[in-house]
Structure 1
Amino acid sequence: MYKLIIFLLLALPMGVFAQTVTTGTVFDYSKKTLSLPGVSIRNLNSKKSTSTNREGKYTIAANIGDLIEFSAVGYHTDTLYLTNLLNRTIYLPVKSNSLKDVDITAVRMNSQVTDAKDPLAEKYTLLNTGGNLNRKRMTDKVGGLNLNLGYGKYKRQQRKEADLEEKEMYQDEIDENFTPKAITDLTKLEGEELKNFMIIYRPSIEAVKAERPFRYAFYISRAFAAWKKLSPQERKLQDLPKLKAN
């Protein structure tokens, strides 16, 4: 009994001070031999963080099942789900829309790297960032964070939505300022002439964007000067040709 207690007391410090870690090296996705120093690495479970050294190497406390986040200026942030604690080679893809912001002087070539492939690479599960752990998981070799093939489509959709919101904003501004009352006060136009004037000379979104703030009163005055030079026929909206019956 005493021998068992002594054995447990001797083994206790080893269990207390033992710490599981995961290690690896981070490279540029496109330039496979280009190691990345200063990459921020964060264990999303334990909140512990570290960064890669001059050779792109890192060591961080972790357990199987933890999520490890890799982030660097000018690169896509991505997350690794640990299925084991073996040494890994990680590749981060460059942000295509932020190339001008990348400080290439901060990246050094690792002279010790002769082969970007990790012969000890193990299978792992890759998750996209954003906290949504219910997204579809992808499997790949450790040694490269897989690019999300839907990312480009998502960004294009975002740009389209932003463009539509911007156009709606300018359209609302034009509607609020290019009004019948504002035009009548400056030009005394009324009735059919006022209607035709507003259709012909309604300012375009491009013109409003180019001049900020846009001077609507000045624009209406210039448009009215051009209007007075038109012939009576030119001031009328031309009817569309009628379609012939089959």
Structure 2
Amino acid sequence: MYKLIVFLLLALPFGALAQTVTTGVVFDYNKKSVTLPGVSVRNLNSKKVTTTTSTGKYTIPASVGDLIEFSAVGYHTDTLYLTSLLNRSIYLPVKSTSLADVDVRAVRMNSQVTDAKDPLAEKYTLLNTGGNLGRKRMKDKVGGLNLNLGYGKYKRQQRKEADLEEKEMYQEEIDASFSEKAITDLTKLQGEELKNFMIIYRPSIEAVKSERPFRYNYHISQAYAAWQKLTPQQRKLQDLPKLKVN
């Protein structure tokens, strides 16, 4: 009996050491050197919760394959897919704030104010159209009609160019954030599997525009969890059918 008690006491520390944990430090995304205390760290698999210390450090029980969520007031929530239990640095982006829209329903104006002339107002010239229309006068600025010719087509062209520039901007962002290195660091995928994964799960421009800033690490971790459920055949890109030669 005495030997059994001694054995259990000796085995207890080893059992405690055998528990798996992951550690790291949480930083501000914009100010890379600023650590964030009080960040809530949650293991979505085991439901374990902890918070970062005054220096931004955290330690939480976890295993490889778990999803760890980081959330704080004023910051976007981020999720990490654990491919290892090594110490990690987490960067949380600040939520952007915008002013609420103001609904103006009625305005009471003073007639003395509305009748006042602006001394800096641009002057315009009254034109006589000539010919049979001599009785009428134009009250537009000189050359106003000529400047409006083709204006609608010009504006449409401008909108098309702006749309193309916006799409190009989002494509460059996706290329930089949904890169081979970023995916390999999170999933360890390489070679042909990595290429197929990037084609199948590349985020669309619409998805990136709907959530700003877009959480690429969370998207990659969710996509990798779905990838693991696919069969080897489903992970391969299907070849297009060959056209028959007449």
TM-score (norm 1): 0.45
TM-score (norm 2): 0.45
